[in-house]
Amino acid sequence: MLKKKAIKLNVVARKPVVVPKTIKKKTKISKKPDPQSLSPFIVIRNAPYGFFEEPCYNYFSQYGQVKRVRVMRNKKGGFSGKIYVGFKYAEVASVVVTVLNKSLMMGENVIKCRQLLNSEVPAAVRFGSQFGKRGLKKSTYVKKRIQKAHVKKYKENPQAVADFINKQLTKAKENGIDYSFDFSKKFTTALEEQKVRNAQNQEKIAKWLKNFK
């Protein structure tokens, strides 16, 4: 019988090759929308009186999820007929525009409706407090708005001014300067004017709240 020859293999041990780990860089996706693309916001003009935040929110909720509602006022605080409505999706906004544009509402007003570009949406409409299920109460929102405007218009408090004058006079006397003047008449007139302004402010708040009931 033939004997099989054993074949020896010279195996050379090699060092293990270290494969470097590939680190995937996370690409940051810009959340800023394209300014020239259509936004989910629409603007409505010539809306009938009484179409305030709550009825507007309830009406447009039948088309889709409403994110923002802004009913614009004129300089006197009255209804202007201009409304901004923001939906969750831009496609819903385009459907609403096709349905509502140049249509009659309440049998009187011809509605003008247009979908806005992202560059056309005002910052006050896009951000801030909203009306709706999770929104701010209308009465508290209106009160805050009127009180802010009232405080900005009349910053001077007569009592604070009188206290400041008295402090300055006492400091002058301590430094050896004898100076005094009578401002009691002006102080009383200023207090009366402040009372009148506060009463007018309360009347404004009551009138505004009647429209939201």
Tens digit of pLDDT for each residue in 167-211? 888 888 887 877 777 777 777 888 888 888 778 777 877 776 666
Q: Kindly state whether residues 59 and 119 are assigned to the same domain.
A: yes
Most confident of 13-17, 57-61, 108-112, 192-196: 57-61
Q: Which of 83, 115, 74, 121 is nearest to 98 (CA)?
A: 115
Banded model confidence at residue 7, pLDDT cuts 50, 70, 90: low
- Per the structure, the count of domains in the chain is 2
Q: Does 143 reside within a domain?
A: no
Whether residue 14 is contained in a domain is answered as no
Residues 124 and 155 in one domain: no
Domain that holds residue 52: 38-128
Whether residue 159 sits in one domain with residue 111: no
CATH code at position 95: 3.30.70.330
Say yes or no: 79 and 46 in one domain.
yes
Instruction: Please indicate, yes or no, whether the overall pTM of this predicted structure exceeds 0.75.
Output: no
Query: Is residue 80 included in any domain, yes or no?
Result: yes
Across the range 33-40, mean pLDDT stands at 84
Residue 6 lies in a domain: no
Q: Is the dihedral of CA 106, 111, 114, 119 positive or negative?
A: negative
Q: How many CB atoms lie within 10 A of CB 56?
A: 21
In a domain, 118, yes or no: yes
CA distance 207 to 168: 42
- Does residue 3 sit within a domain? no
- Domain assignment present for 50: yes
Backbone phi and psi for residue 109, each to the nearest 5 degrees, phi listed first:
-95, 135
Q: End of a domain among 98, 128, 158?
A: 128
Shortest CA distance to 103 belongs to which of 47, 54, 40? 47
42 with 123, same domain: the answer is yes
Split at pLDDT 50, 70, 90, the class of 143 is low
Quick one: tokens of 169? 């006079």
CA 1 from chain centre, in angstroms, equals 100
113 in a structural domain? yes
Q: Which residues pair with 103 in a beta bridge?
A: 111
As a whole number, mean pLDDT of residues 34-63 equals 87
